[in-house]
Structure 1
Amino acid sequence: MKGFPKPAGGLWGTRENDPLGWKAFCESDHFNKGSLRHSFRFRLVSEAKILTLNKEEQLKDLPKLKPWITYNKFDKSGF
């Protein structure tokens, strides 16, 4: 997971105005602040399947996905 702190896929969210949430991170680290213009609110139903990770080590337990197709190699093979 080096260089990418989250696995791909799924819906990632933080509580609105969470001092450790995505908005606070972007503002404090001056990271991709333009993306904050594009946000939405959502509410989870009581039956929602939620996975909460509290430690980086827990990422290792998630299913592994095969790497994306490398289209340059695909084109060179004649397909």
Structure 2
Amino acid sequence: MSSMKKSKLLKLVGKRIKEVRESKNITQLQLVINMEEVAGKFDTTNVSRIESGRTNPTIYTLHRIAEALEVELTELIDF
């Protein structure tokens, strides 16, 4: 298995989240609202940082995003 730099992986995950979100015509703010309905408070700026690959989301955060987008977690890492 080839190794992948952390920064590249974070950008790929972020890009995939953005693609899924946009395909469902959901804004970043709507995503945050949906996430808060799933599991409490979430900072709006975190979505921007995740989508741009500037932060490393936890598996729990990815799970919340997947639930808020109504997709399987694996869809967010399918690139």
TM-score class normalised by the smaller sequence: under 0.3
Q: Using CA pairs below 8 Å that are at least 6 residues apart, which structure has the higher relative contact order?
A: 2
TM-score normalized by structure 2? 0.24
TM-score normalized by structure 1? 0.24
